[in-house]
Amino acid sequence: MCLTMSLKTNLPIAEIAVRANTTRITAMAMTNHSQLGHTGGDLSSADILTCLYFGEILSVRPEDPTWQRRDRFIMSKGHCSGAYYSTLAARGFFPESLLKTFMDPLSPLNGHPDRNKLPGVEANTGPLGHGLPIAVGAALAAKMKGEPWRVFVLTGDGELQEGSNWEAAMTAHHYSLDNLIVIVDRNRIQQGDFTESTIRMDPLPEKWQAFGFTVKELDGHNHAELLRAFESVPLSKGKPTCFIANTTKGKGVSFAENRPAWHHGVPTRQQLHIAAEELKVELPW
């Protein structure tokens, strides 16, 4: 891991790395608690989420979560709620103690996020292909109001098989939404199999380019690269941005890495200990 400093935050990259791995182990502990969850995507998206919320990329106020001029982050891949909740709690949107209630009866921590139950959640997601249209609407609202906020949306790659994403992409291009940043968690695995064996996604960057986005591929686990990219948006004035973040599903945990079965695999207590050791962080409980 490169120990350079983040340009904007002055936080050591190493601290972001620890935070990302804490998110990983917390999401896994939550999945162990509920015996349900999406370990593979939690682990692939943890670095992206951590850079957005802890690299001072997103202008948000946890103490005033609906502050009108905030940057919006929309977690379109709502099934990766373990990583998302863990990040929001660590950032101070709600107490970390709530994480232990993941999917418990009447818990505000649904399997998929509900904005009416948890501060910081911008959109109710879970069914795929919902986040990008909502993000486009929020970006249009900023343009209509002349407000400075940006809208970041994280989608899965299998998720892009839903046609609503491409409807929304056309709108983003037509309305020149340079305040919209799409990040694709390109881990190449969906629920049943590898994406390319399920329904071919490649050439994915070219698809986004053809839909009018300025596209950049990056290593979705390299914090310095992620932060540099997020700090440089929009990549082109007058055009929406798309980052294809190449990731590894199950990243950082040997038994889960790049295995379709870990899309919604549930770790045992013993596996949690192995994961904590590999991630070099403490188990949260």
Partner 1 sequence: MVNTSMTERTRFSNEHPKELFDCRDSYSSTLESMAAQDDRVCAIVNDSVSSTKLKNFKTQFPNRFVNVGIAEQNMVGVGAGLANGGMVPYVCGASCFLIARAMEQVKVDLGYSKWNVKLCGMSSGMAYGQLGATHHSIEDLAWTRVIPNLTVVVPADPQETEQIMRYSLEHSGPMFIRISRMPVPAVHLSSETFNLGKAAVLNQGDDVTIITNGVLVYKALLAAQALETRGIYARVLNMSSIKPIDSDAIVNAARTTRGIVTAEEALLAGGLGSAVAEILALHHPAPMRMLGVPDVFAPTGSSEFLLEHFQLTEQGITAAALELIDKKNP
Summarize as ranges the residues that interact with partner 1 (CB under 8 A).
Answer: 68, 72, 114-116, 122-124, 126-127, 129-130, 132-142, 144-145, 147, 149, 151, 163-164, 167-168, 170-171, 174-175
Which residue number, 18 or 140, has a Cβ lying nearer to partner 1? 140
Give min distance, CB of 214 to partner 1, in A.
21
Report, in Å, the least distance between residue 255 CB and partner 1: 34
Give CA–CA dist 138/109, Å, rounded: 24
Cβ-based burial of 216 (10 A; exposed 0-12, middle 13-18, buried ≥19): middle
How many other CB atoms sit within 10 Å of the CB of residue 120?
Answer: 22
Nearest approach in angstroms of CB 40 to partner 1 is 23
Assigned token pair, 116: 């009416």
Phi, psi of 9 (to 5 degrees): -105, -20
Q: Which is nearer to partner 1, 49 or 177 (CB)?
A: 177
Nearer to partner 1, 106 or 144 (CB): 144
Pairing of strands 180-186, 214-219: unpaired
Instruction: Please report which residue ranges of the chain form alpha helices under DSSP H.
Output: 13-34, 39-54, 81-90, 131-145, 164-174, 195-198, 204-210, 223-231, 269-279
Name the residue nearer to partner 1 (CB basis): 79 or 188.
Answer: 79
Closest CA to 121 of 100, 94, 99: 94
Closest to partner 1 by CB, 60 or 135: 135
Task: Please give the Cα distance from 213 to 88 (Å, whole number).
Answer: 28
* φ, ψ for residue 59, nearest 5 deg: -90, 95
d(CA 88, CA 90): 6
- Decide whether 140 or 274 has the Cβ nearer to partner 1: 140
CB of 274 to partner 1, least distance (A): 37
3-state DSSP assignment of residue 220: coil
- The CB-of-183 to partner 1 minimum distance in angstroms stands at 17
* Residue 147 or 202 with smaller CB distance to partner 1: 147
> Measured from the CB of residue 248, what is the shortest distance to partner 1 in angstroms?
30
Smallest gap from Cβ 55 to partner 1, in A, equals: 23
Letter for the amino acid at 258? Answer: N
Q: Distance of alpha carbon 31 from its chain centroid, rounded? A: 17
